[in-house]
Structures are given as structure tokens and as C-alpha cells.
Chain A
Amino acid sequence: MIKLLGLFLIGVGFACRLNPLLVVVVGGIATGLLAGFSFHEVVTMIGQYFTDNRGMMLPVILMLPIVGLLERHGLQERVAALIRRAKAATAGGVIWFYQVLRGVTSVFGLSIGNHAAMVRPLIAPMAEGAERTRNGQPAEPERAEIRAHAAAAENVGNFFSDDIVVAVGALLLIKAFFDNAGVEVALSDLKLWSLPTALWVIAVGWWRYRRLDRRLKKAADKKPEEPS
């Protein structure tokens, strides 16, 4: 039970809104010390795991200079202008479309983007542009809500349609685990049983983003007309 103390510290740290990085470092060191490793051993482990996992940062670090450079030359303005031509587009509609597209490509084990490569440069400005055409310039809370939903669509599209046709990640891990445990499982069955949730997620997305559009409409109606 004493092993859970590190986890408990992390929970308390997050609840007190301390800096997450500090909380995680302290929690990791505490967990290692309580498990009987020396301080130096724990730090060495942190270094090793950090090095093994630093590839996670690569897509962000290499993508941001491109996005920043293009934003300096009007990328967001251009994307918003493009979506203005599609009169029927709504913020929720754009976001739902991206979630489905992200999901459908993910079915084949392909990744078309992430928050740095797609959501910040393209999807969020598109959704905001659609909202501007429809209901006028959104106020700050509405703008934040559109952006948060765009980020959510990336995650939801990414997570729930993994590997259904071409297995590259999660399903291979599940298969490998069952093989090691001596339980017979066919990869095709795993693929089949991932399908219902993938379809359900599209429906949930449709419901969530339709609600978003309705809320945006309501907020715009309340706002007095102002010349833009």
C-alpha cells in the first residue's frame, strides 16, 4: 500500500493546482524511493525513460516553426477566408467533419495530424471562420469553446478507430499481451469488436457538435447587434 503514496501525492498536487511538471517529478521520485531505489538510481531511471520517450516531442518541435512562419504571413486569415465561401458550414459541422476524417484514416493505421500540425493551423481557424460567417465575431468564451471542441475532435477521432483495418498499435499490443498470457485470441476478432465503438463515437460527436452549434447560436442571439 505504501507504494501508492507517490500516486496520492500526485493527486493532491493536481488538486492544489501546483505546477504539473513539479508534481510529476516529485511523485516519480517519491514512488521510486518508496520502492527501495536510491535517489541516484531514480534520477538515472528518469533520465533513461525521458531519453526513450523524447520522440513524443519531435512532431511538436519540428512542426511549430512551420506553423509560426506561415501564421506570420496570414495562414489563419487565409483558412478563415476559404471557409467563408462554404456558406452552409458551421463551427460544429467543421469539427465533426474533422473528427470523422481523422477516424476514417486512423482505421487504416494512418495519422493525418495532431494538435500542432492540424488543429492549430487549420481546423480551429476554419471552425472560427465558419462561426464568424454564420453568427458574427464570437465572444471570448464562445471562441474558447470552439477551440476546445476542435482539440477534442482530434483526440476522439484519434483514439477510438485505431487499427480496425490495418493493425499498427493498440490491437497488436492486446494480441501480444494475450499471446504472452497463453490466451488464444484472433486479431480479426479484436478488429471486429473495435468497430461498434468507432461507429458510436461518430454518433456521439454528431450530438456534441450539434449542441455546440445551438449554444453558439443562442449566445449570438443574446448579443446585441454591433457593426463589425
Chain B
Amino acid sequence: MTLLTLDFFLALCGVVLAAVGGLIARDATHPQRWGSALFWVLLAVAIGGGKWLPPAIVGYTVIALALLVATKRVGAPRFVAREAAVLEARAEVLGNRLLWPVLLVPAVAIVGGLTLGAVKVGEFVLVNPKQVSQIALALGCVGGLMWALRLTGERPLQAAREGGRLLQLLGWALILPSMLAALGGIMGKAGVGEVIAGLVATALPVQFPLVAVVAYCAGMALFTILLGNAFAAFPVMTLGVGLPFVVKAHGGDPAVMGALGMLSGYCGTLVTPMAANFNIVPVKLLELRDDYAVIKAQAPFAAAIWVFNVVTMYLCVY
């Protein structure tokens, strides 16, 4: 029997999102009032109710969300920030206390992540060990929110309003990562990865040891760019190219190959819009105009790290 599950905190997320939708519905000045309100309320249902709803209902809800976005019914109003003088004055009054709620979140996440899994009374387990890090983070957020409310003296509804301001900056980008995970799952079931691995293996002269290494690392990066997820690329590329050619044909060390292969996949993650939670969500969160601003900043990193991985693998794997 588990006392705290992730579903409980996801239901809490649903409450936050429903409040955001409700506030939009009451805001007559919102430029896309009803479409946006519907978007956030539907999302509240899909996230908060997800586990208790039949998957087909969630699926059609998600498609409705995509259609609302595609027909441009969802938007964010222009938010007017408080005057700089007011903000400076508040910063002066509250001082470093403003930082504590933000720092509490990772502190609880780390300490809780290490300890919560071990708490049990009889047959009651506090948290499912598989969810412990996410639950610890969620607990940190709840604690941080209570501290922030107390510190600022605001009402919970104001927290929903301010959260809504930032969530609306994100808009569709918020659900893109989960949709990409769904896409990856469908592609896995459809067997797309095997086709790609086969293409790489037949198109290149992998009988040369160097070519095998380059093909494997390039395949990891490329496949990750296409799917946005190095974890999905790893089994496919390693079965299709890594094991048959680097390890079996040329006698490479699988540990060297596996570790550096995964790290080559991450180089792909750095340059693909398909890794939306890493590359697109921060663009919206930081209010950057260019959707590719983060990817552009990361591209030189990706190139330098990928070349290093290939050289290291070639020198050490055989």
C-alpha cells in the first residue's frame, strides 16, 4: 500500500491548470479568451484525470488541444509588469528571503529523493521507489509555494494568476515534450528504428573499424535528432550498428562503446527541436524571440563534444 503517489501531485497540477483556465475565462480583456480558457481546462482534465480516464478519451482531448493551437485559438495577453520602482522597493524590503523558497525546492528534492524511499510502516510504504525523485520534487514545490505565499502575503489565487502568466508564455510548448514521447512510442511500435539502423548499416562501408565507429556515433546523434530522445536511439542503433560491427566484427569493448555512444546521442539532443523540454521550453520561459536561440547557443558544444567522443572511442574501443 503506497501512501503518496505521483497521480496525487498530477491531480494537483490539474487544479492549478483549471484555476489558470478559470481566470482566463473571467478576463474580458484576454485577446483569445474562450479558446485559451478551453485549452487550459482541457489540459487540466488530461493531466489531472489522466490515470482515471480511458486512454482514448485522453487521446482525443490531446488532439483537441492540438487543433485549438493549430487554428490559433490559444494565446497570451500582453502582461504589464509592475513598475520597476515598486519591484526594486519590494526587493529591498524582502531581501534575501526572496531566494529561500526557490532554493528550498532542490533541497527538498535532493534530501527527499535520498530518504523518502526508505520510509515504511508495516505494509504502508510512503512512496513508490520508482517515483521517489519526482515525488520529492513535487513536495519541494508544494513547500516552496507555501513559503512564498507566507513571505509575500499573497492569496493562493494570486499564485495561480502569476503561474498562469508564465504558463501562458509556454502555451503549446508545455505539452510538446509529452506528445513527442507519444510519437516516440508509436514509432517504436511501428518499427521505424530498425529501418533506420538497417539503412545506416547498408549505406556505409562499416568493414573499416573507423567507419564503424563514426557510423555508430553519427547514427546515435542523427537518430536522436529525428526522435528527440537518446534513450530511444540507443537500443536501436546499438543492435543495428554498434554490436554487429563495432563489437562483433572488429572486437570493440562494449563498455567504451556504450558509454560514449550514449554521450554522442546527447550531442543530437542539443541541436534538435524534437527535444522540446530542453530546447524549446526554455526559449519560451526566458522570453526569447528566436525559437532556435538555445539550439544555436548549443550547436558549437554539440560539435566539439561529438568529435571528442568519436576520437576517444576510436582510440580506446579496439
- How far does the alpha carbon of A200 sit from the alpha carbon of B176 in the complex, in Å? 31
A 104-147 binary contact with B (CB < 8 Å = 1; else 0): 01000011110111111110100000000000000000001101
A219 CB-CB contact with B under 8 Å: no
| A43 proximity list for chain B (CB < 8 A) | 56, 59-60, 63
- How far does the alpha carbon of A153 sit from the alpha carbon of B269 in the complex, in Å? 14
| A72 proximity list for chain B (CB < 8 A) | 82, 90, 152, 154, 158, 162
A81 CB-CB contact with B under 8 Å: yes
Residue tally, chain A, CB below 8 Å to B: 115
A151 CB-CB contact with B under 8 Å: yes
B 142-174 binary contact with A (CB < 8 Å = 1; else 0): 101100110110100011111111110010111
| A46 engages B59 (CB within 8 Å) | yes
| B94 engages A73 (CB within 8 Å) | yes
Interface SS of B by simple majority: helix
| A7 proximity list for chain B (CB < 8 A) | 187, 192, 226
| B185 engages A45 (CB within 8 Å) | yes
B273 CB-CB contact with A under 8 Å: yes
| B46 engages A144 (CB within 8 Å) | no
- How far does the alpha carbon of A194 sit from the alpha carbon of B165 in the complex, in Å? 40
| B134 engages A55 (CB within 8 Å) | yes
For A161, give the chain B residue with the smallest CB separation.
Answer: B263
| B105 engages A57 (CB within 8 Å) | no
A75 CB-CB contact with B under 8 Å: yes
For B105, give the chain A residue with the smallest CB separation.
Answer: A117
Q: Which of A68, A177, A197 contacts B309 (CB 8 A)?
A: A197
For A159, give the chain B residue with the smallest CB separation.
Answer: B266
A12 CB-CB contact with B under 8 Å: no
Give the Cβ gap from A19 to chain B, nearest Cβ, in Å. Answer: 6
| A28 engages B182 (CB within 8 Å) | yes
- How far does the alpha carbon of A219 sit from the alpha carbon of B285 in the complex, in Å? 25
Residues of B bordering A, CB below 8 Å: 6, 9-10, 12-13, 16-17, 46-47, 50-51, 53-63, 65-66, 69-70, 82, 84, 87-92, 94-96, 98-99, 101-102, 105-106, 109-110, 113, 131, 133-134, 137-138, 141-142, 144-145, 148-149, 151-152, 154, 158-167, 170, 172-187, 189-192, 195-196, 226, 230-231, 234-235, 238-239, 243, 247, 253-256, 258-260, 262-263, 266, 269-270, 273-274, 276-283, 285-290, 293-294, 296-298, 300-301, 304-305, 308-309, 312, 316
Residues of A bordering B, CB below 8 Å: 1, 3-4, 6-7, 10-11, 14, 19-22, 24-25, 27-28, 31-32, 34-35, 37, 40, 42-79, 81-82, 105, 110-113, 115-122, 124, 144-145, 147-152, 154-156, 158-160, 168, 170-171, 173-174, 177-178, 181, 183-186, 189-194, 196-197, 200-201, 204-205, 208
